[in-house]
Amino acid sequence: MIELPVISAASSKHIKKPNWLRVKLPVGEAYAKVRKIVDENKLHTICESGNCPNMGECWGAGTATFMILGNVCTRSCTFCAVATGRPLKYDEAEPQRVAEAIATMGVKHAVLTSVNRDELKDRGAEIWYQTVKLVKELSPKTTIETLIPDVKNNWDALQRMVEGGQEVVSHNMETVERLYRRVRPQARYARSLEQTQRTYKMGKRTKSGIMLGLGETEEEVLKAIDDLVEAGLHILTLGQYLQPTKMHIEVAEFIHPDQFEKYKEEGLRRGLKYVESGPLVRSSYHAERHVNVSID
């Protein structure tokens, strides 16, 4: 078995990040246009709130992932840069603003996500539904991916979230089962698997994502892939975890691109329809490709 290079977090404190983790700064006319639309419409994007390393590339291509239901999350996941706390009342006009912004941008494929709103009885499902429906009404040719949060066993809320007409429904596992309590303390591995399975049984194109470099083993990653395949997953993204601030969980290791390629090959061999795998891959990276994945 060939050992692939790994750079430990301890050694990374004294050296630069590996070459494969370098990103371009957000610049250019297209980036400025998206920036202007987002600001003028008072919209939130996970690109900014999540400190995404691909923001320059994606915004430069005229696309962005819109985050609805505010920018304060009721969860306190140790990897996430989104603010945690008690959210304000959601804005009922937000679906209209999001739909108008997407129409103005003229995007062919839109990605929508949200913070967790555990304090809401419907987990924000009605706002999800209205946003998708309005985007479809104002931009009939636009395809949509919704990256939805954990509904905490509210399966009626899940049904409402996914019946608006989107083409892809995503829910991220984020990490392997052993690390859930440390990485996603208010989530449950089995519950997220069940959410994917229920979405699959609704006839939707299913998608999920896992971060690497948190201390997981190869065996654990492959088991997670097997679990997701059994649950009916079609599309998987795999990317390197990057610590957003010193307050967040530290990187355990930097995974070499060759290992990401190995996971991609294993995922396809084990039954996934499509795998996006690489150090800088994030949930919405190249999302426009996923809408055409055959699920037959």
Q: What is the pTM of this model?
A: 0.85
Beta bridge partners of 65: 111
295 is a domain residue: no
User: Tokens 């430990």 label which residue?
Assistant: 8
pLDDT at 46 over 70: no
- 220-253 pLDDT, tens digit each: 999 999 999 999 999 999 999 988 888 889 999 9
Percent of the chain, pLDDT > 90?
A: 59
Residues 6+ apart with CB under 8 A from 203: none
3-state DSSP call for residue 285? coil
Work out the burial of residue 222: count CB atoms within 10 Å of its CB; fewer than 13 is exposed, 13-18 middle, 19 or more buried: middle
Say if residue 190's pLDDT is above 80: yes
| DSSP designation for 245 | S
Is there a domain that residue 296 lies in? no
Q: How confident is the model at residue 8 (pLDDT cuts 50, 70, 90)?
A: very low
Asked which of 20-29, 43-52, 86-95, 273-282 is least confident by mean pLDDT, the reply is: 43-52
How far apart are alpha carbons 208 and 275 in whole angstroms? 10
Position 63 in a domain: yes
CATH number at residue 174: 3.20.20.70
Integer Cα distance of 58 and 128 in angstroms: 23
CA distances from 113 to 11, 89, 162 (A): 35, 18, 12
Mean predicted lDDT score pLDDT of the chain: 85
Query: pLDDT band at residue 62, thresholds of 50, 70 and 90?
Result: low
Structure token pair of residue 74 = 């009721």
Q: Report how far residue 64's alpha carbon sits from residue 55's, in angstroms, rounded to the nearest whole number.
A: 8
User: What pLDDT is stored for residue 21 in this prediction?
Assistant: 74
- Report which residue type is found at 109: H
Confidence of residue 1 (pLDDT cuts 50, 70, 90): very low
Residue 259 lies in a domain: yes
Over range 143-164, report the average pLDDT. Answer: 96
Q: Domain range for residue 271?
A: 6-290
pLDDT category of residue 15 using cuts at 50, 70 and 90? very low
Lowest mean pLDDT among 10-24, 53-67, 92-106: 10-24
- As a whole number of angstroms, the longest Cα–Cα distance in the chain is 56
How many domains, the chain? 1
Q: What is the pLDDT of residue 96?
A: 95
33 confidence band (pLDDT: 50, 70, 90): low
Count of CA atoms in the C-beta half-sphere (13 A) of 264: 16
79 is a domain residue: yes
Q: Is residue 1 part of a domain?
A: no
The residues, any chain, with a CB within 8 Å of residue 160's CB and separated by 6 or more, are: 122, 125, 126, 128, 129
Please, what sign has the CA dihedral across residues 127, 131, 133, 134? positive
